[in-house]
Structure 1
Amino acid sequence: MRLRSEQVLSLGLWLAVIIFSLWARYQLPDAPIATHFGVDGQPNGYMPRDVALAFGPALMLVLGLLLWILPALSPKGASLKRSQSAFDAAQLAIIAFLAVVQIVVVLKALGVQMDIISILSLGTGFLLLIIGNLLPKTRFNYFMGVRTPWTLSDERVWDRTHRLAGPLFMLAGLVIILAACLLPQSWQMNVLLASTLGAAFVARAYSYLVTKRLR
């Protein structure tokens, strides 16, 4: 099977994260590493060193393999292959986001001073910008997009919902990025959650309203 460019880049990111994590293993003492942080940026969850260093690459591998095989599992009439370019771009964006998370956690363990909440908020914001840009290009399927009982029962509802959901999630991403640049850490996570959940709620409600209108 010939790899597409996005898959090659995803594989390259995965290998780079493995190499970086292996290098970090010999720089760090055999002590727990902070892997979870509160809204104030202070660590509140830890893993053993080797588990923490392996977790990110393992998650990238499992998710990457899952995303790799999903198109083959799609039923006829709702095939992901109709949205292959959008699906490949989303897969690369998600893998890149996970790579950033792993690198940030390792750098923090190495003693690099950084505003970890702002960095992760920025990463989430850019991820939502990309996903939002891809949603209107996503054709009817069961794995990627705004999947509600109404979008999955009528392709017309799917198309109209995704034309709205795209700009909604891009707006949410932009709000999160601005919050990461302008607001204190204690506000950033609240803005992230409110923006993401708000966009998802509006898209879901809109799919219901479109269904009622079409009927």
Structure 2
Amino acid sequence: MKKIFDRTTILSTIVVLLPIVPALIFYQRLPEQVAIHFNAKGVADRWASRPLAVFGLPLLLAGINIVTQFILLTDPKRDTQSKIFRLARWTIAPISILANTMTLLIALGISVQIERIIPLCVAILFLVIGNYLPKAKQNYTIGIKIPWTLANEENWNKTHRLAGWVWTGGSV
């Protein structure tokens, strides 16, 4: 039988779930209602119960990670050695660590300038994607998948070269 999940899938899912450990350590110090969403000014506008805040986001992101891994691994045109493929397989893990760490710190009353940290992280993500998009080989999973790019490799390359500049510019 063919393996559905490989070592990277298992390791990245474990990393996605790691934020549960410090949350459990500080569980009793967390308030009953934990802020889980913030507006552009850094003011909390959504809350969740303590158990949902501790387990909900990591488990949701672990599920997203597993689905993402499955989709990436089942692409018939995948190039497992490409940098963008490897990058895509590890994208959810740092998002989980960042989001859960920020939530935990704020719940513990530690001052965090989330209104600056999150836009900076999104800009870095856009910059990284913009850097790797032009290098993406034609596939069915990662990139701009419209009929014209999937039908013609030259179109794919030109589209992704332009998209790389747009994403990089958008990161600024």
TM range (shorter): 0.7 to 0.9
For 1:44, the equivalent position in structure 2 comes to 45
Identity %: 29
**1:83 offset after TM fit, Å?**
6.0
For 1:131, the equivalent position in structure 2 comes to 129
**Is 1:66 equivalent to 2:64 in the alignment?**
no
Work out the CA distance in 2 between the residues paired with 1:93 and 1:66: 13
**1:73 offset after TM fit, Å?**
2.1
Q: Is the 8 A contact 1:97 1:127 kept in 2?
A: no
For 1:21, the equivalent position in structure 2 comes to 23
| Greater relative contact order structure (CA < 8 Å, 6+ sep) | 2
* Residue type of the alignment partner of 2:96: L
| 1:109-120 alignment, distance < 5 Å | 109-120=107-118
**Unmatched tracts of structure 2, length 5 or more:** none
* Residue type of the alignment partner of 2:110: V
TM-score (ref. length: structure 2): 0.85
Work out the CA distance in 1 between the residues paired with 2:67 and 2:142: 13
More helix by share: 1
For the residue of structure 2 that corresponds to 1:140, the secondary structure is: coil
Work out the CA distance in 2 between the residues paired with 1:67 and 1:84: 16
Work out the CA distance in 2 between the residues paired with 1:161 and 1:101: 32
| 1:1-215 alignment, distance < 5 Å | 3-4=7-8, 8=11, 10-11=12-13, 13-29=15-31, 31-75=32-76, 79-81=77-79, 84-173=82-171, 175=172
For 1:180, the equivalent position in structure 2 comes to none
What number of residue pairs does the alignment pair up? 168
Work out the CA distance in 1 between the residues paired with 2:36 and 2:72: 32
**1:33 offset after TM fit, Å?**
1.0
**Unmatched tracts of structure 1, length 5 or more:** 176-215
Specify whether residues 92 and 71 from structure 1 end up closer, same or farther in structure 2 by C-alpha distance, changes over 3 A only: closer
**1:7 offset after TM fit, Å?**
6.7
